[in-house]
A and B are shown apart, each in its own frame.
Chain A
Amino acid sequence: DGGITQSPKYLFRKEGQNVTLSCEQNLNHDAMYWYRQDPGQGLRLIYYSQIVNDFQKGDIAEGYSVSREKKESFPLTVTSAQKNPTAFYLCASSMKTAAGYGYTFGSGTRLTVV
């Protein structure tokens, strides 16, 4: 069954900790994205990647890092430098980043700072 899988569904982070959110797709999509969703803020782009070993900063990249070592995987690390990390994080993929290719979203990870 093709799709995009995010894990874990819920994640709790202590102050000063780095945490990594997993995103895996088996759709053979070239492009992958991370968005952050806050109430009333819509979806804001953190990072995106067009191909393996290449990624670009989005609008709110500070305090986050990513890697793209495999086409199928695009993990997001929320570092201790991100001062307000509590949010819902959505991973997405598309065939390419060129316009006209819709996104397929994962089911999200809800991160809470404790």
Chain B
Amino acid sequence: GENVEQHPSTLSVQEGDSAVIKCTYSDSASNYFPWYKQELGKRPQLIIDIRSNVGEKKDQRIAVTLNKTAKHFSLHITETQPEDSAVYFCAASIKIGYSTLTFGKGTMLLVSP
């Protein structure tokens, strides 16, 4: 089955800096890659996603890039703010029959004022 590796496990930045979280996946058939943000004690929420026919997608301060050849994708957050502090999960899904999301282990992002 699919295996998703996520790095780093923790990331500390100063407010205003950029943050980058990287994920790799094992199954070349994967074609959908969402990112979820989970604030402390709350439910994960979808913040951005990308499909395999797209190399990059942006939404205000966040962007996701996908390199299908290398089988990795990354989340970029610019101009970080304290409210960006949370755990971020990447995931991958295959479009064949029944498909479920396989998640990375998460990255705890801490943004210091």
Chain A residues with Cβ below 8 Å from B106 are 40, 42
Binding stretch for chain A, among B39-47, B58-66, B72-80? B39-47
Interface residues on B, range: 20 to 34
Is B105 in contact with A40, judged by CB distance below 8 angstroms? yes
Is B95 in contact with A99, judged by CB distance below 8 angstroms? yes
Given contacts A40-B9, A108-B43, contact A99 B98 (CB under 8 A): no
B17 to chain A, nearest CB (A): 25
Given contacts A42-B105, A100-B93, A102-B49, contact A90 B43 (CB under 8 A): yes
A67 beta carbon closer than 8 Å to chain B: no
Is B89 in contact with A43, judged by CB distance below 8 angstroms? yes
Is A50 in contact with B98, judged by CB distance below 8 angstroms? yes
A114 beta carbon closer than 8 Å to chain B: no
Chain A residues with Cβ below 8 Å from B103 are 35, 42-44
A28 beta carbon closer than 8 Å to chain B: no
Chain B residues with Cβ below 8 Å from A99 are 30-32, 93-95, 99
The 3 A-B residue pairs whose C-beta atoms are closest, nearest first, are A99-B95, A42-B105, A99-B32
Interface residues of A (CB under 8 A from B): 33, 35, 40-45, 48, 50, 56, 58-59, 90, 97-100, 102-108
- In addition to A45-B102, A48-B98, A98-B99, 10 A-B residue pairs with Cβ atoms within 8 Å of each other are A35-B103, A42-B103, A42-B105, A90-B43, A99-B30, A99-B94, A103-B34, A104-B46, A105-B36, A105-B45
